[in-house]
C-alpha cells in the first residue's frame, strides 16, 4: 500500500469522525470541500451551522472529542469565547462552525467550494439506533410470545379436537364423586333404592324365589294330612 493511499484513507477517516461529531449535536447544513488543490496546509474544509452560542461551543467540543477518539491528535480551537464563529484546526482538515448570519455574510463556500465532497450524512446514526432498538425488541419478544400462546390456547378451547374431547370426558369421569346409595325407610330412600341397579336385582331375586317357598309349604301340608289319623264319622240315626 502506497503512502498516498494511506494518507487518503486517514483523511477520509478524519472527515468521517468530524461529521459524526457535528451530527451528534445536530449541526445544520454540513458541507465538506476538497481543498487539496487549493492549499498545501489542509485537504478538507468542513462548514456547519449552529443556532446559538451554546450550540456552536457544544459542536466544537463534540468534534474535538470525536477526532481524539478516532486516534488523531487533539485539534486546536479558536473563537470559542463568543461562539459566533469557531474554527477547529484538525491539521488535515479545518472545521468552520458558524451561526447562520455570519455564515451568510462571509459565505466561505465561494472560497473553498470548487470541489464538494459527497458524504453520506447520518450514516452512523441508523446503525446506532438499530443496536439500541435490538435489546428492546428482545425484551418485547416474550410478551408477544405469551400473547400468541394465549391466543392459540383460546382457539383450541373454542374448537377442541376429537381427541381433546375424549380426554376431557375421561378427566371429568375421574374427577366425578362416586354416587352413594340412600339408606333409610323414608319415601326419598325408597325412590333412590328403586332407581338403584342393586335394589332392582334383589327385588327380582325375591320374586323368583317366592314360588319355591309356596310349593314347599304346600308339600308340608300334604304330608301332615297323610300322617294324621282319619276322623271317625258318627253313624246316622234311623
- The DSSP output letter for 82 is T
- The DSSP output letter for 116 is B
| Long-range pairs, 137-142, Cβ under 8 A, ≥24 | none
The greatest distance separating any two alpha carbons of the chain, rounded to the nearest whole angstrom, comes to 186
Q: Where do the domains of the chain lie? A: 3-122
**Contact, 199 vs 184, CB < 8 A?**
no
Alpha-carbon distance values, 12 to 16, 111, 112 (Å)? 6, 21, 18
pTM: 0.52
172 grid coordinates:
371429568
Q: What is the pLDDT along the chain (238 residues), one digit of tens a residue?
A: 577 777 788 899 999 999 999 999 999 999 999 998 888 899 999 999 999 999 999 999 999 999 999 999 999 999 988 899 999 999 999 999 999 999 999 999 998 888 888 876 665 444 444 444 445 444 444 544 454 555 555 545 555 666 777 777 787 777 766 555 444 555 555 555 555 554 444 444 444 444 545 555 555 566 565 555 555 555 555 4
Please report, in angstroms and rounded to a whole number, the separation of the first and last CA atoms in the chain. Answer: 174
With 0-12 / 13-18 / 19 or more C-beta atoms within 10 angstroms meaning exposed / middle / buried, residue 68 is middle
**Contact, 40 vs 19, CB < 8 A?**
no
Beta-carbon contacts of residue 109 (< 8 Å; ≥ 6 apart): 31, 33, 47
**Contact, 34 vs 115, CB < 8 A?**
yes
Query: If DSSP codes are grouped into helix, strand and coil, which group holds residue 182?
Result: coil
How far is Cα 136 from Cα 99, in angstroms, rounded to an integer?
38
- The yes or no reply on domain 3-122 and CATH 3.30.460.10 is yes
Amino acid at each position: 500500500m502506497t503512502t498516498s493511499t494511506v494518507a487518503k484513507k486517514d483523511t477520509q477517516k478524519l472527515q468521517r469522525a468530524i461529521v459524526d461529531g457535528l451530527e451528534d449535536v445536530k449541526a445544520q447544513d454540513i458541507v465538506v470541500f476538497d481543498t487539496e488543490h487549493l492549499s498545501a496546509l489542509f485537504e478538507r474544509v468542513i462548514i456547519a451551522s449552529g443556532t446559538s452560542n451554546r450550540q456552536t461551543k457544544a459542536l466544537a467540543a463534540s468534534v474535538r472529542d470525536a477526532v481524539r477518539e478516532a486516534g488523531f491528535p487533539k485539534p486546536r480551537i479558536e473563537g470559542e469565547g463568543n461562539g459566533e464563529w469557531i474554527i477547529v484546526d484538525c491539521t488535515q482538515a479545518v472545521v468552520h462552525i458558524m451561526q447562520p448570519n455570519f455564515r451568510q455574510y462571509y459565505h466561505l463556500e465561494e472560497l473553498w467550494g470548487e470541489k464538494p465532497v459527497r458524504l453520506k450524512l447520518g450514516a452512523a446514526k441508523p446503525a446506532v439506533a438499530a443496536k439500541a432498538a435490538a435489546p428492546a425488541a428482545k425484551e418485547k419478544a416474550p410478551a408477544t410470545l405469551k400473547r400468541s400462546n394465549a391466543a392459540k390456547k383460546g382457539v383450541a378451547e373454542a374448537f377442541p379436537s376429537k381427541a381433546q374431547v375424549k380426554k376431557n370426558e375421561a378427566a371429568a369421569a375421574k374427577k366425578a364423586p362416586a354416587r352413594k346409595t340412600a339408606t333409610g325407610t323414608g319415601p326419598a330412600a325408597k325412590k333412590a333404592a328403586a332407581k338403584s341397579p342393586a335394589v332392582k336385582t334383589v327385588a327380582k331375586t325375591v320374586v323368583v324365589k317366592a314360588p319355591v317357598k309356596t310349593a314347599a309349604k304346600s308339600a308340608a301340608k300334604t304330608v301332615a294330612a297323610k300322617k294324621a289319623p282319619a276322623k271317625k264319622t258318627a253313624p246316622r240315626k234311623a
